[in-house]
Structure 1
Amino acid sequence: MIRALFLFMTITFLFSCESSVQNKTEKATEEVTVINPNLQEISTDEALIATAVMAAPAEHRAECTVIGYNMAGEFVTMKEGSNELICLADDPKKKGFSAACYHQSLEPFMARGRALKAEGKSATEIFDIREEEVKSGKLSMGETGSTLHIYYGGETMYDPETSIVDGAKYRYVVYMPWATAASTGLPERPIAANHPWIMNPGTHRAHIMISPVADVN
């Protein structure tokens, strides 16, 4: 009787181990990432333009203006557009990928930031200088509600057929100068991914932040 019980327990244990290994193997197989064979490095001006406009809403991409550093390291207008959106291409000299697209009324604010950065100003200095200039009326923040679309990620490979950058995600910034949690009803910290919140409240750079949106299509 004891031998029979021992034999039964041994068989049950072995069967349980085999099932566990099989389940883990099946799960690992399911989790294997399919590598896109079309992926290429973003290494041409054409690729910079194609991936930059991916930051814009799909229906506006064809007519966007694209500016930024080309492969030769020159900051130029890479593509003339006809709508209200300006896209800033990824800087090929920087690690990872980051493109942005914003309403044209934000260009004075964005251009001023680029100029101050080129002068060697720190992020804090740039913030303070633009704060005073916006307060004095010297610098425009554009229309209230002007939006910045950001398409970013750690990789620099893209699919030439779709212009999708491998692993890239979206986040959105809606500028609301001087807005606060009290004036908008928004929290000052994100509650969860994709939930809006207000950043830099009470300043010229107050904005609604939505970050990140996981689907890149």
Structure 2
Amino acid sequence: MLKVFLFLLVMGQILPIKAQNHYPSTSVQIKTAVLAAPEYSRENALVYGYNSNGELKVIREGSNEMICIADDPEKEGFNVVCYHKDLEPFMERGRELKKEGKSFQEIFEIREKEVKEGILNMPQDGATLYVLTAPKENYDPLTGEITNSYFRYVVYIPFATVESTGLPLKPEAPGMPWIMDPGTHRAHIMITPPKKFGDGEK
């Protein structure tokens, strides 16, 4: 076998093996993805994760109002999100358009148009998205252990404005809520706690 290998190597027939991306196990992806959700909703949340080809798929079905997405190893930092199921049409449409190669601004404009035309539904009573982040070096993909994690919160309130909410366009104090994209389908309240006081910090 060694002689065959050396012969092929000399003849230039040994092709380099392309490194495969390493994705955490399904159990680790589920364990870490649901950490972004409130504790009471973690056990029965639907979870999206990545297969060995890097494709985002449902890796656990859910039975409550929460949907969670595992960390993407291809992106910088550790980042998992959970959101109310009423946001799924909005999120899924964004994923579809991103796959098509659309830019952030193109995705914004397409979804804005579709919401206004009644093609794409947005929750009218508000719906929350939870984000948990950490430096990549503080995440162990083998065990799912995370340190120095940090929460922030987004509450979608379509077409809300400064006038309708009384919220400013930027935070004027640490942790103060503020409104982003006011007057659009993507209007949302941003709540970013000071890191040293963040509920998710460990």
Structure 1 and Structure 2 fold alike (TM over 0.5):
yes
Tell whether the 8 Å contact from 1:89 to 1:100 is kept in structure 2 after alignment.
yes
Q: Summarize the alignment of residues 167-206 of structure 1 with structure 2, pairs less than 5 Å apart.
A: 167-206=148-187
Please provide the CA RMSD for this pair.
2.1
Which 4+ runs in 1 deviate beyond 4 A? none
Q: Which of 46, 50, 68 does residue 49 from structure 2 map onto? A: 68
Cα distance in 2 for partners of 1:103, 1:127 equals 20
**By how many angstroms is 1:66 displaced?**
0.2
Normalization by structure 2: what TM-score? 0.80
**By how many angstroms is 1:81 displaced?**
1.3
Match of 1:128 in 2: 109
Change (3 A) 1:212 1:163: farther
After superposition, give the CA deviation of every residue in 1:39-69 in whole Å (9 maximum; x if it has no partner): xx98322211111000100111111100132
Q: Secondary structure at the match of 2:189?
A: strand
Cα distance in 2 for partners of 1:83, 1:156 equals 32
Cα distance in 1 for partners of 2:52, 2:27 equals 10
Structure of larger gyration radius: 1
Matched, 1:92 2:73: yes
Give ranges in structure 1 of 5+ residues lacking alignment: 1-40
Cα distance in 1 for partners of 2:53, 2:156 equals 32
Matched, 1:116 2:97: yes
Cα distance in 1 for partners of 2:89, 2:83 equals 12
Cα distance in 2 for partners of 1:212, 1:116 equals 31
Q: Which of 195, 199, 202 does residue 215 from structure 1 map onto? A: 199
The one-letter code sitting in structure 1 at the alignment partner of 2:191 is I
Normalization by structure 1: what TM-score? 0.75
Change (3 A) 1:123 1:202: same
Tell whether the 8 Å contact from 1:198 to 1:206 is kept in structure 2 after alignment.
yes
- Percent identity among equivalent residues? 54
Change (3 A) 1:155 1:166: farther
**By how many angstroms is 1:158 displaced?**
3.8
Change (3 A) 1:112 1:140: same
**By how many angstroms is 1:80 displaced?**
1.1
Cα distance in 1 for partners of 2:144, 2:28 equals 8
Q: Secondary structure at the match of 2:154?
A: strand
Change (3 A) 1:151 1:86: same
**By how many angstroms is 1:166 displaced?**
2.0
Tell whether the 8 Å contact from 1:145 to 1:176 is kept in structure 2 after alignment.
yes
Match of 2:4 in 1: none
Give ranges in structure 2 of 5+ residues lacking alignment: 1-21
Q: How many residues align?
A: 176
Cα distance in 2 for partners of 1:159, 1:153 equals 11
Cα distance in 2 for partners of 1:60, 1:199 equals 27
Question: Which one has the bigger helix percentage?
Answer: 1
Tell whether the 8 Å contact from 2:26 to 2:49 is kept in structure 1 after alignment.
no
After superposition, give the CA deviation of every residue in 1:1-40 in whole Å (9 maximum; x if it has no partner): xxxxxxxxxxxxxxxxxxxxxxxxxxxxxxxxxxxxxxxx
Match of 1:35 in 2: none
Change (3 A) 1:61 1:164: farther
